[in-house]
Amino acid sequence: MQFSRTKPPVPPNETGSANRNSSLEAKPLRDLVRSFIRHRSAVIGASLVVIFILCAIFAPLLTPYEFYTSTRETLDDPSAAHWFGTDDLGRDIFTRIIYGARISLWVGFVAITGSIIIGSFLGLVAGYYGKWQDSLISRLFDILLAFPGILLAIAIVAMLGPGLNNALIAIAIINIPTFGRLMRSRVLSVKQEDFVLAARAIGMKNSRILWRHILPNCWTPIMVQGTLGFATAVIEAAALGFLGLGAQPPQPEWGTMLSDSREFIQLAPWTMIFPGLAIMLTVLGFNLLGDGLRDIFDPRMKQ
């Protein structure tokens, strides 16, 4: 009696399966990039931000002058030699604006990053655990929000002393409640989802639930708010510099440049116009980028 041999089942093509999985993962990214490119205001905002970042990085290559050296041509009109003119000490204004981008972007990045880290941690704890932790942290946020932001920053810098680092600390502190309350509200919503309840039911640790399930589902609004908060940080840094509490001379901070040129607003208006335009365009770029990201990530706006 003969038995027919049956061929063993062919295992699935692991390479093809991996390629399909990678293509599925790449598809949302492609859709996100396409949505971003189609959003005109987001593209304009990102372009402005990239321009200032490139200027800050390649500042020594964009100008032959140093931001602290005098050209012996005080209050010179804008010309081919000095595109934005010179200030009362003969320093090239274009050079100081280019180098000032380094200070403003650095202050905004470090301050907002610190605010996001501290505020998100406090918001996670308050939203997930609740009880006395939520009451204590929420009252702390309420106290910080009870004061106008710039006045609280002035008070903090006045206690710590004027300087760029102290201004950075003050800006980070006054923005903590914004990210903390946003994270808390997201956690209160996400922790009621079925996948979180299932993780609790199987005995998963709270730290693992926070890190693996809740935090990844709360980052989108934090990222959007961080982009908008960057613009606010630039304005706050300029305000502290204008009051003499931020960057100290000869550092080319935009707010300090505005303060130094107040006396020459009629004689040499370009000494105030160009630093003001730098602040305006930077803030406009981050606001447009933040609004664009909000529209892209919000499914209700896609309709």
Query: Look-up: residue for tokens 């918001």?
Result: 123
pLDDT for 74: 83
pLDDT at residue 221, as a whole number: 86
C-alpha 195/C-alpha 182 separation (Å) is: 21
CB atoms within 10 A of CB 293: 25
- Whether 159 contacts 199, CB under 8 Å: no
Q: Give the pLDDT confidence score for residue 25 in this predicted structure.
A: 45
Asked which of 24-28, 99-103, 181-185 is least confident by mean pLDDT, the reply is 24-28
Q: Is the pLDDT of residue 54 over 80?
A: yes
- pLDDT tens per residue across span 157-201: 999 988 889 999 999 999 999 999 999 998 888 888 888 888 888
Give residue 134's pLDDT: 87
pLDDT for 6 beyond 80: no
Task: Give the per-residue pLDDT at 22.
Answer: 44
Return the amino acid letter for 127: G
Q: Which two tokens stand for residue 212?
A: 């693996």
Residue 27 pLDDT grade (very low, low, confident, very high; cuts 50, 70, 90): low
- Six token digits for residue 100: 């000032």
- The predicted-structure confidence for 137-167, as pLDDT tens digits, reads as follows 999 999 999 988 889 999 999 999 888 899 9
pLDDT at 20 (0 to 100): 46
Q: Provide CB contacts within 8 A for 291, sequence distance 6+.
A: 41, 42, 45, 228
* 8 Å CB contact between 102 and 295: no
Q: Is the pLDDT of residue 41 over 90?
A: no
Residue 280 has pLDDT above 60, yes or no: yes
- Give the mean pLDDT of 14-22: 46
| pLDDT (0 to 100) of residue 155 | 92
What CA–CA distance (Å, rounded) separates 299 from 303?
7
Q: Is the pLDDT of residue 14 over 90?
A: no
Whole-angstrom CA distances from 299 to 22, 240, 295 are 24, 38, 8
For range 226-238, the mean pLDDT = 91
Q: Which domains are seen in the chain, by residue range?
A: 40-59+93-302 (1.10.3720.10)
Residue 68 phi, psi dihedral angles, 5° rounding: -110, -5
Which H, E and C letters describe the chain, residue by residue?
CCCCCCCCCCCCCHHHHHHHHHHHHHHHHHHHHHHHHHCHHHHHHHHHHHHHHHHHHCHHHHCCCCCCCCCCCCCCCCCCCCCCCECCCCCEHHHHHHHHHHHHHHHHHHHHHHHHHHHHHHHHHHHHHCHHHHHHHHHHHHHHHCCCHHHHHHHHHHHHCCCHHHHHHHHHHHHHHHHHHHHHHHHHHHCCCHHHHHHHHCCCCHHHHHHHHHHHHCHHHHHHHHHHHHHHHHHHHHHHHHCCCCCCCCCCCHHHHHHHCHHHCCCCCHHHHHHHHHHHHHHHHHHHHHHHHHHHHCHHHHC
As a whole number, the mean pLDDT across the chain is: 84
Task: Measure the CA–CA gap between 252 and 68, rounded to whole angstroms.
Answer: 8
Residue 233 dihedral angles phi and psi, to the nearest 5° = -65, -35
pLDDT > 70? residue 245: yes
